[in-house]
Structure 1
Amino acid sequence: MIPAIETAPAMLLLWTAVGYLLGSIPFGMVLAKLMGLGNLRDIGSGNIGATNVLRTGNKAAAFLTLVLDGGKGAAALILARVFAGEDAAQLAGFAAFLGHCYPVWLGFRGGKGVATFFGLMFALYWPLGLICGAIWLSVAFIFRYSSLAALVSAAISPVAVLLIGRPDAALLCLGLVALIYLRHGANIQRLIAGNEPKIGKSKATDSAKVE
């Protein structure tokens, strides 16, 4: 369920801190400011992710936010893997996800973590990333709910790691699933109530898509 603990405790703490700091970089807000798009807190859902950046009308900024939010999770995990080990890598990856969702610079009010989740899945083990991505695309295509696609894809990940022979990553995936469901609480309520906006329907208050 977890990787073998082989890295010294001090190094594990170091890479946890590095992961959190990388994950807490609010690329959406940085790009919005650099490109003169305004304060994301005053736009749409007020979230810092790619969907809210897209509400500014700048597709390039939204795409860059999506890539960078995914990339920072992947970078944290890969760097820790290269310079320490798999135990440090998984801790750094989880810390990066925490950093994105709860960045200290923004009063612990961050994004929903979906882009960072996919970055982590591909960096952890690329077949796992492909599986999660395929599930997201399938659910989104059939039901037209981006939030539902993210929730289902995340929920499948702990099972997928067992099936593809990476049981050491199961606990990491379970932790990520718990945080994703926590961050999507409002979306889950709207899905149950039947008033969650579908993909392609733009609403100023919609926070349902990938943040």
Structure 2
Amino acid sequence: MPFLVMAAAYALGSVLFGVVLGRLLYGDDLRERDNPGGSGSFRQYGPVVGIAVGLLDLAKGVAAVLLARSLELDGYWVAIGAALVVAGHNWPLWHGFRRGGGGLAPAAGAMAILAPWQLKWALAATLAVAAAYRLTGLRRRFKIAALPAGSVIGFPLLAFLVWRDGDAVAFLAAATIALLIGGRGLQMAREGPRRNSQT
């Protein structure tokens, strides 16, 4: 049973709602122009679609954790499921394990269930670093969008906070997710900004 749930978490993460809504509403593939998450959808399709995609991606993370918990899996399986939904978003099964998103929204959804208080501080740090990153023009040097850059600080901070509070399950999830987001961020930086991508 745990392995089926883990496979389901990865498959769920692999559903890129930015691509799904882009094809349904506009007949194109968002990944050709931008990153397929909420921020890319916001830039390319406007605030309504962007917010919808962000919320749907967030819901993937929530659903993966709640599914594992509802089946009363061991806490460590819950943490692995949280990480796998992010991995699926970053390297989607349905798209040949490439050209996924940055993983921030599904990560936030999963950690909102596992460590809601600590997540608030991590998101605040992510947004603060992202704002500073944009204002200082560092994006031109490092070729990575602002929110993924902010998450390089925010998610390790989240892992530290849950470790300090002695929550081993949340720490496993947060630390693994931080590595997944960081790894995808480096990959995106090497790929370079997609056409019309601005943050």
TM-score normalised by length of structure 1: 0.78
Structure 1 residues 130-152: Cα deviation after superposition (integer angstroms, max 9, x where no partner): 12122123323444343321111
Q: 1:137–1:80: structure 2 CA closer, same or farther, 3 Å change rule? A: same
Q: Is 1:76–1:96's contact at 8 Å kept on the other side of the alignment?
A: yes
Equivalent residue, structure 1, for 2:88: 99
Structure 2 CA distance, aligned partners of 1:168 and 1:16? 16
Equivalent residue, structure 1, for 2:168: 167
Q: Is 2:148–2:181's contact at 8 Å kept on the other side of the alignment?
A: no
Equivalent residue, structure 2, for 1:192: none
Instruction: Pick from 197, 204, 211 the counterpart of residue 196 of structure 2.
Output: 204
Equivalent residue, structure 1, for 2:55: 67
Amino acid aligned to 1:62: G
Q: How does 1:1-211 map to 2 (within 5 A)?
A: 11-36=1-26, 38-43=28-33, 45=34, 47-85=35-73, 86-109=75-98, 110-144=100-134, 145-185=146-186, 204-206=196-198, 209=199
Q: Is 1:118–1:132's contact at 8 Å kept on the other side of the alignment?
A: no
Q: Is 2:90–2:102's contact at 8 Å kept on the other side of the alignment?
A: yes
Identity %: 29
Amino acid aligned to 1:77: V
Q: 1:176–1:42: structure 2 CA closer, same or farther, 3 Å change rule? A: same
Deviation, 1:25, is 1.0
- For structure 1, the 5+ residue unaligned runs are 1-10, 190-195, 198-202
Amino acid aligned to 2:120: L
Size of the aligned set, in residue pairs, is: 185
Structure 2 CA distance, aligned partners of 1:96 and 1:107? 16
Structure 2 CA distance, aligned partners of 1:155 and 1:173? 8
Equivalent residue, structure 2, for 1:6: none
Deviation, 1:77, is 0.7
Q: 1:134–1:57: structure 2 CA closer, same or farther, 3 Å change rule? A: same
Comparing 142-151 with 116-125, which one deviates more in the overlay?
A: 142-151
Structure 2 CA distance, aligned partners of 1:50 and 1:37? 18
